[in-house]
Amino acid sequence: MTQGPLTTEAGAPVADNQNSETAGAGGPVLVQDQLLLEKLAHFNRERIPERVVHARGAGAYGTFTVTADVTRYTRAAFVSEVGKRTETFLRFSTVAGNLGAADAVRDPRGFSLKFYTEEGNYDLVGNNTPVFFIRDAIKFPDFIHTQKRDPYTGSTEPDNVWDFWSLSPESTHQVTWLFGDRGIPASYRHMDGFGSHTFQWNNEAGEVFWVKYHFKTDQGIKCLTAEEADVLAGQDPDSHQRDLRESIERGDFPTWTVGVQIMPAAEAATYRFNPFDLTKVWSHADYPVVEIGKLELNRNPENVFAEVEQSVFSPAHFVPGIGPSPDKMLQGRLFAYGDAHRYRVGINADHLPVNRPHATEARTNSRDGALYDGRHKGAKNYEPNSFGGPVQTGRPLWQPVPVSGVTGDHEAPLHAEDNDFVQAGDLYRLMTDEEKDRLIGNLTGALAQVSREDIVERAIANFRQADADFGKRLEAALQALRG
CA 349 to each of CA 39, 43, 120, 310: distance values in angstroms, whole numbers, following the listed order: 24, 20, 15, 8
The one catalytic residue in 127, 202, 300, 348 is 127
CA–CA gap between residue 116 and residue 64 (Å, rounded): 10
**Cβ(417)–Cβ(273) below 8 Å:** yes
**Cβ(155)–Cβ(149) below 8 Å:** yes
Backbone angles phi, psi at 51, to 5 degrees: -60, 140
Backbone angles phi, psi at 451, to 5 degrees: -90, -25
First to last CA, the chain: 65
127 counts as catalytic: yes
H/E/C letters for each residue in 193-234?
A: EECCCCEEEECCCCCEEEEEEEEEECCCCCECCHHHHHHHHH
DSSP letter (8 states) at residue 350: G
CA–CA gap between residue 30 and residue 222 (Å, rounded): 58
**Cβ(233)–Cβ(100) below 8 Å:** no
Largest Cα separation within the chain, whole Å, is 85
CA–CA gap between residue 58 and residue 298 (Å, rounded): 14
Q: Is 216 exposed, middle or buried (0-12, 13-18, 19+ CB in 10 A)?
A: middle
What DSSP letter does each residue of 65-108 carry, written as one string? Answer: EE-S--TTT---GGGSSTT-EEEEEEEEEESSS-TTS-SSSSS-
Q: Please report, to the nearest 10 degrees, the dihedral formed by the alpha carbons of residues 181, 186, 189, 191 taken in order.
A: 10
Nearest to 86 by CA among 106, 64, 108, 71: 64
Which amino acid appears at position 351 of this protein? H
Nearest to 315 by CA among 102, 66, 114: 114
CA–CA gap between residue 409 and residue 276 (Å, rounded): 17
Enumerate residues 6+ apart whose C-beta is below 8 A from 367. Answer: 376, 381
What DSSP letter does each residue of 140-200 carry, written as one string? Answer: HHHHHHHHSB-TTTSSB-HHHHHHHHHH-GGGHHHHHHHTSGGGSBS-STTS-EE--S-EE
173 counts as catalytic: no
The one catalytic residue in 17, 19, 54, 442 is 54
CA–CA gap between residue 280 and residue 130 (Å, rounded): 8
CA–CA gap between residue 419 and residue 401 (Å, rounded): 25
Q: Which residues are catalytic?
A: 54, 127
